[in-house]
Each structure stands twice: as structure tokens, then as C-alpha cells.
Structure 1
Amino acid sequence: MPSSKQVGQESAANKKIGGVPTIHYFDFQSRGRGQVVRLLWEDAGIAYTDVRYSFDEYPQYKKSKIEDMNPTATIPVVELNGKILTQSYAILRHFARQLGAYDGETEDEKYWADAMCDIVLDWRTLFIQAFFSPDKDKTYPAHEKGDRANFLKAMQQHLTSSDLSNSGPFIIGKKITYADLVLYQICHDENLTQNGRAGLKDYPRLAKLIDAVEGRDNIKKFLQSDRYLG
């Protein structure tokens, strides 16, 4: 049976989004596309119901439950007030708009957050292919030296060459966006945020963003809680 846990207490942020959402996702440490949705909710102080599926039990529920909610039978899936929300980055943008935060204010800020998010989407696709390959012992080391290194260089260059990014620690400056959480999550999943940021020593601007995300009060509390699974 999947586990279900109520996280947090209803807050003003819950009122803004219209209730307490339920997320369906894997019980896979604190990683993946579904985890970044949780991360936004944690940062915003949103209470939510966390339903987690083990990899072994997921195929059964994929056919009997998830497919009924989402025709593509993929997770995360979010339920809220009878609505079904799918596609993790669309979910993030949706809640950002409802909260009136995490999305930038000007069109330039919104564009830059969206553009950086899309770059991470390309990065994550290649990461997943390499990490879950039957030949992971070969494909993932090749990914680390190839695609991952290229994306790290690109992110470092983008963050240092943009006037918006240069005005603060985050992608659009002093205000965090959903895209910062997306970028943080891929770095976390690639084990770049751990071990004293050793994997980011050549990318100081990116490390600065990671530090700023982890330094936020609610995220810091989350990382120190039993909800954070490494």
C-alpha cells in the first residue's frame, strides 16, 4: 500500500491556492520532478497530503489509479478541489501564479525564469537516460564528464552574464522563482549539493544560488527534518 502523510498546517498560502493539495509520487528519497513540487510547497508554507508509491507497487497503482487521473500514467499527479494537475513544471507555474510569487514580476523576469527552467528540463532528460540505463556503470560516468559538465558550464555562464542574475543570488536576482528550485533539484539529484559542494567548485555562481536556496528558512527546516530523505 502507498503511504499517505499529512504535512504541515493550513496557512494563508493554502487559502491562496484554494485548499490542501495531494501529491502522488514515488517514494524515492528526496529526488525527482515530484520532489521539486514538494519543495515549492515547503518553501511557501503550504500544507499538503503526501502520497508515496514504492517502485515495486507502482505498476499496480499505475493501472488502477494513476491512469484514471492522468491518461499518460505518469507522476507526479496533484489533486486539489476535484481538479487533477499533471506535468511537474506546469504544476509549479500554476501554483506560482496562484501564490503571486515564484514567477517574476516583469516579462523579462518571467522569460528568464522560464528559459532557465527549460534548460534544466533538457539536462534532466539526459540525466534520467544515463542514470536509469541498464548500462549505468558506463552511461552515467560518461554523462558526468559530457552532458552534465556542459550544462554546468552553461548555467555558470548564464548566471554570470545576465543583468538580472547578477543583481542577486537567484536567477532573477533577489527574489526566488520556481526555476531556482528546479535548478536546485537537478543539482541535488546529481549529488552536486552534497559533500561540501565539491562538484560545484568550478561553478561559484551556481554554488551561490544553491546556498541561497538552502538558506531559506522553510527549506532549511525541511532539510533538517525527517521528511528529507537524502
Structure 2
Amino acid sequence: MAEEWTLFYWAAKSAGRAEFVRLLFEEAGVKYKEDNEDTLGKFFQGKIGSFQLSQTPVICRYLGKEFGLFPDKFEDEWHAEQFNLTLHDYIAEGRNSFHGINLIASYFTQEEETKPYIERFVKDRIPRYLKHFEQVLSLNNNGQGFVFGNKLTYVDLGLLHVLRATEAQFPDTWKEADYIPNLKAFQGKNRD
């Protein structure tokens, strides 16, 4: 029997950063289990046997290569990694805006004080990131396929998660973003 991957994440079954990895497992049809019991002092990790990885961007790149969800061309491999890191920067910056006063305290303990951080993220940062994502997607096949190359890769799945999270967290901003037609089409094609 093949060993099964284990995801260690503080909030099992919530989307968060673990969703990037879940999408890879689901797309590849790879069995995995989740463990949120043994996460004290740990960041997100993936483990199979004695092999462990931390840091979601690293895990995504590794699993993308392991599962054949990786660019074929050498140049695309590195452009994909660059894009992967930018996707994770976006998620981190968005998360931090909800914790503008204290990054480790609950949002609900700083809800009022953090409003200016969220407003800045919505007004300035979301459009900047989405325009960049639109530009990168549009460089390949006029934005009518995958981010890089001619097949699904780990960065396509990462982009899908980022777009879903943006729409869910900021529905009005997403609806009004008429400057990202290719991203909206990409997200629409991949709703399930």
C-alpha cells in the first residue's frame, strides 16, 4: 500500500493556504488526509512518510512537479515559480490587511482599527494584483487557456484559488473589476 500524504493545517477543512495544496491533490487524484491536532508551533506542512515540506509555495511547486502539473519548457518553469510566489504574496497581503494592528490577534479584536488597512487593500492593492494576473494570463494564447504552456499546471490551480477567494471575500470589488475579462473567463470556466 502506498503511503498517504498528510496535510498539517491549523484549520482543517477551511480554505486558507491549504486550499492551494488540496486543489493539487484533487486534480491529481491523490489520496491525502488532514491533521489539525498536531499543529501547535507548526506552519502549514505536507508530509509523506518521513519526508516533510513547509511553506505553501514550496509544497505547490514540489507537488506540481511530482504530479505532472508542471510546465514543460524550462523558461515557463521559472516564470511559473515567479507567478506562484506572487499569488502567495497577494494572499498574504490580503490576510495581513485584516490584521493591520496585530498580525497574530484575531480580526475580531481589531475590527474597527483595521478598516483603513482593508480599505487600502481593496482600493489600491487588489486592482494592482488583478491587473498583473490579467497581463500574465493574457501573454499565453491571448489569455484563452492556461497561464503557461498548453496544459494545466500548479499555477493554474493556484490562480483559480486566488480568484475564488477574491470573489468570495470582496464580491463587490470582483463584480466591478471590468478590467480583467480573461481572469473572469478563466475563473468561470473552472468553477467546479
**Alignment TM-score > 0.5, same fold:** yes
Match of 1:83 in 2: 51
Match of residue 24, structure 1, among 1, 5, 8: 8
Asked if residue 120 in structure 1 is aligned to residue 62 in structure 2, the reply is no
CA–CA distance in structure 1, aligned partners of residues 186 and 45 of structure 2: 28
Tell me how far apart the structure 1 counterparts of residues 131 and 21 of structure 2 sit (CA, whole Å): 26
**C-alpha distance in 2, partners of 1:34/1:98?**
18
Which position in structure 1 is the counterpart of 2:145? 169
8 Å contact from structure 1 (residues 22, 78) kept in 2: yes
Matches within 5 A, 1:31-70: 31-52=15-36, 61-62=39-40, 67=41
The answer to whether the 8 Å contact 1:92/1:178 transfers is yes
CA distance 1:127–1:193, shift in 2 (3 Å): closer
CA contact (8 A) 1:131 1:140 kept: yes
Distance in structure 2 (CA, Å) of the matches to 1:141 and 1:195: 14
Which residue in the other structure is 2:106 paired with? none
Query: Quick one: distance in 1 between partners of 2:180 and 2:141?
Result: 14
Q: Say how many residue pairs are matched.
A: 180
Matched, 1:107 2:83: no
Instruction: Please report how far the alpha carbon of residue 194 of structure 1 lies from its aligned counterpart in structure 2 after TM superposition.
Output: 8.6
1:154 to partner: Cα distance = 1.4
Distance in 1, Cα, partners of 2:146 & 2:189: 7
Where does the alignment leave 5 or more consecutive residues of structure 1 unmatched? Answer: 1-14, 68-72, 215-219, 221-230
Determine the structure 2 residue equivalent to 1:70. Answer: none
Give the CA RMSD over aligned residues: 2.7
Q: Quick check: 1:203 aligned with 2:180?
A: yes
Q: What letter matches 2:167 in structure 1?
A: N
Identity value in percent: 20
Cα 1:144–1:103 change in 2 (3 A) is same
Q: Secondary structure at the match of 2:190?
A: helix
1:213 counterpart = 2:190 = yes
Q: Secondary structure at 1:169's aligned position in 2?
A: coil
Q: For 1:118-157, what aligned pairs fall within 5 Å after superposition?
A: 118-133=85-100, 134=110, 135-157=113-135
- CA drift of 1:29 comes to 5.8
Aligned-partner Cα distance in 1 for 2:29–2:118 = 35
Is the aligned partner of 1:184 residue 2:160? yes
Q: Give the alignment's TM-score, normalised by structure 1.
A: 0.68
- Cα separation, partners in 2 of 1:165 and 1:50, compared to 1, 3 Å: farther
> CA offset at residue 26 of structure 1?
2.9
Partner amino acid for 2:94?
F
